[in-house]
Amino acid sequence: MADMQHSTVRVLEQTQVSPPPGSVPSTSLPLTFFDAPWLLCRPMQRLYFYEFPHPTHHFLHTILPSLKHSLSLTLRHFFPFSANLLCPPFPAKPHFFYTNGDSIRLTVVESPADFNHLMADYPRNVQELHPFVPNLPPARVVDGDTRVVPVMALQVSVFPNLGVCLGVTFSHVAADGRAFHHFMKSWASVCKTGAHDLTSIEKSIPFHDRAVVKDPNGLELIFLKEWWNWASTWKEGDSVISDQLADKVRATFDLGHSQIERLKHWVQNQCSDTTNLYTSTFVVTCALIWVCLVKSQQAFGETNNVSDRNFEKPCYLIFVADCRNRFELSIPFTYFGNCLALCFVSVKKSELLGVNGMVEAVKAIGNKVGELESGGLKGAEKWMLDWKTVAELGDYITVAGSQRLGIYETDFGWGRPKKSELVQIDVSGAISLAENREDKDGVEVGLALSRPNMDHFNSILEKSLRLSH
What was the pLDDT predicted at 242? 65
What was the pLDDT predicted at 462? 96
Lowest mean pLDDT among 224-233, 409-418, 421-430: 224-233
Q: State mean pLDDT over 297-323.
A: 75
What are the pLDDT digits (tens) for 203-225? 899 999 999 999 999 999 999 99
201 shares its domain with 258: no
Average pLDDT over the chain reads 92
What was the pLDDT predicted at 132? 98
3-state secondary structure of 160: coil
Q: State mean pLDDT over 104-127.
A: 98
Q: Please, what is the end-to-end C-alpha distance for the chain in angstroms?
A: 45
Q: Which of 130, 172, 181, 456 is catalytic?
A: 172
What was the pLDDT predicted at 316? 97
Residues 421 and 166: their CA atoms lie apart, in Å, by 11
287 shares its domain with 352: yes
177 shares its domain with 316: no
What are the pLDDT digits (tens) for 40-53? 899 999 999 999 99
Give me the percent of the chain exceeding a pLDDT of 70. Answer: 94
- Of 177, 197, 231, at which residue does a domain stop? 231
379 shares its domain with 463: yes
**Would the pLDDT of 196 be above 60?**
yes
What was the pLDDT predicted at 442? 97
Does 457 fall in a domain? yes
Q: State mean pLDDT over 272-288.
A: 91
Q: Which of 215, 254, 395, 411 is catalytic?
A: 411
143 shares its domain with 258: no
What was the pLDDT predicted at 235? 58
pLDDT grade for 427, boundaries at 50, 70 and 90: very high
What was the pLDDT predicted at 306? 42
Q: State mean pLDDT over 247-257.
A: 97
What was the pLDDT predicted at 229? 86
Question: SS3 helix, strand, coil % of the chain, rounded to 5?
Answer: 40, 25, 40
Does 236 fall in a domain? no
Side-chain half-sphere of 215: how many Cα atoms within 13 Å?
A: 17
72 shares its domain with 109: yes
Does 241 fall in a domain? no
Does 238 fall in a domain? no
pLDDT grade for 307, boundaries at 50, 70 and 90: very low
291 shares its domain with 156: no
**Would the pLDDT of 33 be above 60?**
yes
Host domain of residue 270:
246-467
What are the pLDDT digits (tens) for 151-169? 999 999 999 999 999 999 9
Q: Which amino acid is at 304?
A: N
Residues 272 and 224: their CA atoms lie apart, in Å, by 46
Does 239 fall in a domain? no
pLDDT grade for 331, boundaries at 50, 70 and 90: very high
* Catalytic (active site) residue 243: no
What are the pLDDT digits (tens) for 348-379? 999 999 999 999 999 999 999 999 988 889 89
Lowest mean pLDDT among 94-103, 244-253, 329-338: 244-253
From the CB of residue 269, how many other CB atoms can be counted at a distance below 10 Å?
11
CB 85 within 8 A of CB 171: yes
Give me the percent of the chain exceeding a pLDDT of 90. Answer: 80
Q: Which amino acid is at 94?
A: P
3-state secondary structure of 144: coil
By CB atoms closer than 10 A (0-12, 13-18, 19+), residue 334 is: middle
223 shares its domain with 305: no
What was the pLDDT predicted at 238? 47
CATH number of 393's domain: 3.30.559.10
What was the pLDDT predicted at 438? 93
Does 182 fall in a domain? yes
Q: State mean pLDDT over 262-269.
A: 95
Does 315 fall in a domain? yes
**Would the pLDDT of 324 be above 80?**
yes
CB 222 within 8 A of CB 382: no
356 shares its domain with 443: yes
DSSP class of 168: E
What are the pLDDT digits (tens) for 283-294? 999 999 999 999
**Would the pLDDT of 241 be above 90?**
no
117 shares its domain with 250: no
161 shares its domain with 132: yes
**Would the pLDDT of 236 be above 70?**
no
* Catalytic (active site) residue 172: yes
What was the pLDDT predicted at 233? 67
Write the DSSP assignment of 53-88 as a string of letters. -S-HHHIIIIIHHHHHHHHHHHHTTSGGGGSEEEEP
Q: Report how many domains make up the chain.
A: 2
